[in-house]
Amino acid sequence: MKKLIFKNIPQLIALVKRYESITQEEIDNADITGIETYHGRLNPLANALTGFGKMTTCTLCIAILGEDAIKEDDASSLDCSKCVYHELQPNAYKYSCIEVAKETYDAIDKSSEVDLLKAYRNRAKAIRKAFKEYDINFD
């Protein structure tokens, strides 16, 4: 087991569990009022449900950068070197999360209420697999 020391490991575990436990009913009843697309590519539904797709709402980003450090639309404040995903993408200092099992990230990004549940489950599975050699306990 490889050891990991990142401040946002608890948030990663919580996120995986959220992806695994979210229900179709929650998806169907999500309130996307006021959620604007972000550079034309934010899934308002996934953002409303899990903070997905935006550093100002991402629990992993907030945990390492602090809410005050994250400025709307300002990727220059983004520093992924402190993020647990960086372990898997050591060359990506911005958006290293997107590069981990990218196809499952993109699937959530593109999902509608019809396929979002499956996309979340697939992403959870892929994240577990990506970290399987590390001492992160998702159970």
Q: Contact with Zn ion (CB under 5 A): which of 45, 48, 60, 70?
A: 60
Closer CB to Zn ion, 45 or 61, in the complex: 61
Q: Contact with Zn ion (CB under 5 A): which of 35, 61, 70, 126?
A: 61
Supply 95's token pair.
């958006």
Q: How far is the CB of 17 from Zn ion (least distance, A)?
A: 16
What CA–CA distance (Å, rounded) separates 66 from 60?
10
Supply 130's token pair.
């990506």
Residue nearest to Zn ion (CB): 58
Contact segment (CB under 5 A) with Zn ion among 1-9, 24-32, 53-61, 98-106 equals 53-61
Contact segment (CB under 5 A) with Zn ion among 9-17, 18-26, 51-59, 125-133 equals 51-59
Determine the 3-state secondary structure of 133 from DSSP. Answer: coil
64 lies in the binding site for Zn ion (CB under 5 A): no
What CA–CA distance (Å, rounded) separates 87 from 96?
9
DSSP element (H, E) containing 10: helix 9-21
Where does 22-131 have alpha helices with state H? 24-29, 44-50, 59-65, 96-99, 102-110, 116-130
58 lies in the binding site for Zn ion (CB under 5 A): yes
Closer CB to Zn ion, 61 or 116, in the complex: 61
Contact segment (CB under 5 A) with Zn ion among 38-46, 60-68, 111-119, 128-136 equals 60-68
79 CB-side CA count, 13 A? 7
Contacts to Zn ion by CB under 5 A: 58, 60-61
